[in-house]
Amino acid sequence: MATKLAALVVLAAFLAGPAACKGAIMCFNGWLRLPTYNQSFGFRPKKTKSVRNSSIPFGPGLGHGYYDNRWSRLYCPRAEGIVRGAVRDAVAAYPGIGAGLIRLFFHDCFVRGCDASVLLTTTNSNNSDTEREGLPNKNSLRRFEVIDAAKAAIEAACPGKVSYANIVAFAARDASYFLSNRRINIRMPGGCYDGRESFANKTDQLPGPFSNVTELQASFVAKGLTSDEMVTLSGAHTIGRARCMFFSSRFSEMDPTFAAKLRTSATATTTPM
């Protein structure tokens, strides 16, 4: 677990805020269960299938420089460099991409471990209601294309050697590296295997933007994280953008000058990390 905590230091997700689940809109662990749009029938509630599936523990065997051992069948010394190059090029084109990669890693790790299950669209169980379709992720998670570009380049250099799970982790690390002007350089361990199962209803573990402090603490305690670690992880919200709907209810609680600035910004279209 300690290894996972070191990796999670670079992560981000939408956290904090007063509870705001009233009326016909139901709560989803601090997320508003908003209606989804269907072109044929208009707005209707999103339904998720209940699947019984126990959590997968974060396994042993991780290590730094995991792909650098020339005696290993997974030897791929260029792996981390290739990922860093892909992230560097993407962030140079648009810095907001870095925040999206950090958030992608957090949403992967917080649900069933750092196994890239958040990338799946179909699973071994042949279900399509994967984590990508879960309320906190659907039409919200971004930057899959950077992961795909890094994976394609690695496959060209070392076919079948590097898992998606490690690419997602390395990309988040490298995003924090470039966004901090190369001041943050975390030693990210490698060796994660890709998951083969993914379920939308499992994303209710993710802390939501309308969770209160007690709910947030409970979410992190369930993952073995302390309140101090929760605050540290939440600090990643100093980068990226958020949808106005997630913070507009708190304008009255903010500094008036800052609130006025946010109100002006909220009139324009904004995108999440």
Instruction: Give the residue numbers marked as catalytic.
Output: 107
- CA distance from start to end of the chain: 26
Q: DSSP states of 222-239 as a string? A: TTT--HHHHHHHHGGGGS
Q: Please state whether 116 falls in left (phi above 0), alpha (psi between -120 and 50) or beta.
A: left
Q: Is residue 207 annotated as involved in ligand binding?
A: yes
Distance CA 200, CA 155 (A): 29
Q: Is residue 162 annotated as involved in ligand binding?
A: no
Query: Looking at residue 240, what DSSP letter applies?
Result: S
Q: Is residue 80 annotated as involved in ligand binding?
A: no
How many C-beta atoms lie closer than 10 Å to residue 227's C-beta? 12
Q: Is residue 208 annotated as involved in ligand binding?
A: no
Q: Is residue 270 annotated as involved in ligand binding?
A: no
Instruction: Answer whether 195's CB lies under 8 Å from 120's CB.
Output: yes
Instruction: Answer whether 66's CB lies under 8 Å from 190's CB.
Output: yes
Alpha helix (H) ranges present in 158-212? Answer: 164-179
Distance CA 3, CA 205 (A): 20
Q: Is residue 113 annotated as involved in ligand binding?
A: yes
Q: Is residue 115 annotated as involved in ligand binding?
A: yes
How many C-beta atoms lie closer than 10 Å to residue 37's C-beta? 11
Nearest residue to 141 (alpha-carbon basis) of 112, 110, 162, 170: 110
**Annotated binding-site positions for heme b:** 237
Give the residue numbers of the binding site.
108, 111, 113, 115, 117, 131, 207, 237-238
Known binding-site positions for substrate: 207
Write out the binding residues for Ca(2+). Answer: 108, 111, 113, 115, 117, 131, 238
